[in-house]
A and B are shown apart, each in its own frame.
Chain A
């Protein structure tokens, strides 16, 4: 097998899987088959990715680069992909005749994200970004109608409108960068932008280019879709939207922000401003939420703010900590969604009060929820703490003292609403006594996520080292 084929194998496996899924959608009652196919695809791609971890290649006329950075992130995305499939179980909230299509779109969206990780040409990047977004818009709309209420349609329309607008802004910004540098290749752009990076037009171009990514990450002021989409889409879809795209967005953000030099105060200031707004807005609004998914939506805005704080350092340490944090965030938020999907009746939304007495209905779910929520709150020894610590460390070492203090103050605000969840789940008495029985895949999923959240927090040395090393291959 040629080296370039080996490097591209994960993508090929996914594409083959998508093709297979397409054929499954042609026949009737293909939901079970589709589920098997997508699960096998995810595992196959994961294995292929692990196998190609060491390989390096530049493909498609320099538009696509496979390196340690991209492969490392692909593994995380594919692992998350497998979790999302397990999360979905039977897709109770999606109409039965369109379930195979749902799996197809899920697979296509992940393919888009995988492409994003390796794209080093802005055209390829934008296409990959669109490929990862459009299936998600459809998946939101695929939720079953509930008593004639079409909230899912409202959510989907909001999602697509904001998405398209943000992408438009991004393309506009990219056109400036292209005009300045005469190239669409990111590495070339990096060197050619260097002499002119402090000119206003470069700054405007750079900042506008970030819009599409900030939208994915749900950073203020591109956050408006978040709570409605979380609430309107089915629990499984929301779990997907809340986790993987954010990882992709942060990864690409690294590529874009590294276009700015380490001493670029304007970009740092802009990012700091967005981070502060996101943190305060997300946390303060989350305080009054009653629906658990909405709460996660607003807290997601705040967490995006934390991740952006790492970027203000504009150096490898900051990027590393943000990537590490968002990796941990994927695990934490998926753990929350496992609980949501299992507690929910017929796929309905779950209010916080419905979590009452979860410890008696299912101890494992309660444990998963408590660990995930404490991790989100940033309590050691879980990954949320180590992530925030790394980000604070990076920001403070660049002298962003005020930003660091705002960040810790926000962590303190956030504790209140996270504790409300813990309070219901652990201290409360069940409103409904029926125990929740978990099937084996769910148990495995819970345990994997628990171990992941704890292990990443207690022993982050390996993964931090890997991220730092892979950033170094990008020239950072």
Chain B
């Protein structure tokens, strides 16, 4: 076998296990600078490698691609099965592309125990790619839970003043949510005779059984999303986490919840989905409005962005449970967009915090005039967050609203205040930050963005406009797979 051939057939496994190998190398490196450089080199190489997924992905079929299937634990019939479809390929790419930016964002932010931090970040990357590419429920669950360890360590070791509380809350909340996932995985296996995700999709489960597994899935995924009222871990975790931790949480981890809906709830429990979708749409309306208005009241910028996440993810859930093509496409786009925009906003808040050691909007008021480059970037990302036409979020939210209107016009009408609130809280931040109050002597010394920081943010800025102006390539990739999910979800039993 040539090396090219090996790369071709094992690309996905390489993306899962190479970060672990890179973490092992990190463990023996001595100097802190070497740690940073190595982590950057490794994650960038992986990002470059993952472009291969994009290039070779065949968007014309809903079948899983880059599939690898080996027997892992024969006596329990567990397989190591991985593969990507049009939904997961985008999320894997989002993960691999955002990780090098996390390394860059932590370059000077992380000052103590750099080695451990980079190891945690690399292990995290492996687990995240693993979650999105797993085609075996046990493998999925393994990655899903394994992720908790590096993430809670990241919050607990490198976080802010209340880091321990936030870390424990995050861990216990997520763990408690996912234990029933484990039971339902086994229950499904007893019905289908296999732990395979593909085998469980479209299996004719009885209606009662569907309602139970839907409930179990929904609980664990809704906590991850997080949907109102399961969101309380999120502000705590976001506020206390270091910048890279917040970025990973927002950009990738939250997507696992909505990804779970698409991968598990819709195709495996279509009856339950159809029965419960209207209620879930209303729950997401509440999330959008609640997130928006709570964000409006926040003085801490990180908290503000965290609550805006609740609102944005509410849109994604709404799109998914509209159960039509536009809604699903919109939801998937919202997932990607939220990854780009919110990730960028967290990086920018982190940059400010590094300079001024505060995230209070009142103390940052009027800072914009001193650091024009920063303000330029910040303005774009704020506009993107409120779904300004021409930016990425506009496309996604527009599609969700269009899809949602078909499913439940009244829900869309009711979500309008949430959309307005988004504009209100983002404009409020921008206005205060750029033109805000009187001269603050502390602001004189503040430096504008460094080259490293510009390099960190530039790809995200590119993403904002690329998706905003030309989303068709992304839509093409996801279209067929989403149509297939929809078909499975609308199957009449």
Contacts and interface: CB of A to CB of B under 8 A. Distances in A.
Interface string B137-156: 01001110110110001001
B183 A392 contact: yes
A51 B419 CA distance: 73
Interface in A380-427: 380-381, 385-386, 389-390, 392-393, 396-397, 401, 404-405, 408-409, 411-412, 415-416, 419, 423, 426-427
29 contacts: A320-B75, A374-B149, A379-B145, A379-B146, A380-B141, A380-B143, A380-B145, A380-B146, A386-B73, A389-B138, A389-B186, A392-B183, A393-B189, A404-B186, A405-B183, A408-B179, A409-B179, A411-B179, A412-B179, A416-B172, A419-B171, A423-B164, A423-B167, A426-B156, A427-B163, A461-B71, A461-B73, A464-B76, A465-B74
Contacts of B142: 380-381, 385
Nearest to B163: A427
A49 B164 CA distance: 47
A458 to B, nearest CB: 9
Interface in B155-173: 156-157, 163-164, 167-168, 171-172
Interface string B176-187: 100110110011
Contacts of B153: 426
A168 interface: no
Contacts of B371: none
B175 interface: yes
B435 interface: no
Interface residues of B, number: 33
A381 B156 CA distance: 21
A409 B183 CA distance: 10
A423 B156 contact: yes
B410 interface: no
B172 A468 contact: no
A468 B76 CA distance: 11
Contacts of B172: 412, 415-416, 419
Contacts of A423: 156, 164, 167-168
Interface in A405-459: 405, 408-409, 411-412, 415-416, 419, 423, 426-427
Nearest to B159: A427
Contacts of A187: none
B487 to A, nearest CB: 30
Contact of A390 (B76, B175, B189): B76
Given A396-B190, A426-B153, 7 more contacts: A389-B138, A409-B179, A411-B179, A419-B171, A423-B164, A426-B156, A465-B75
Nearest to A360: B113
A460 B142 CA distance: 14
B462 interface: no
Given A404-B186, A461-B74, A468-B75, A427 B167 contact: yes
Given A461-B73, A461-B74, A427 B157 contact: yes
Contacts of A385: 142, 145
Contacts of A390: 76
A408 B149 contact: no
A396 B187 contact: yes
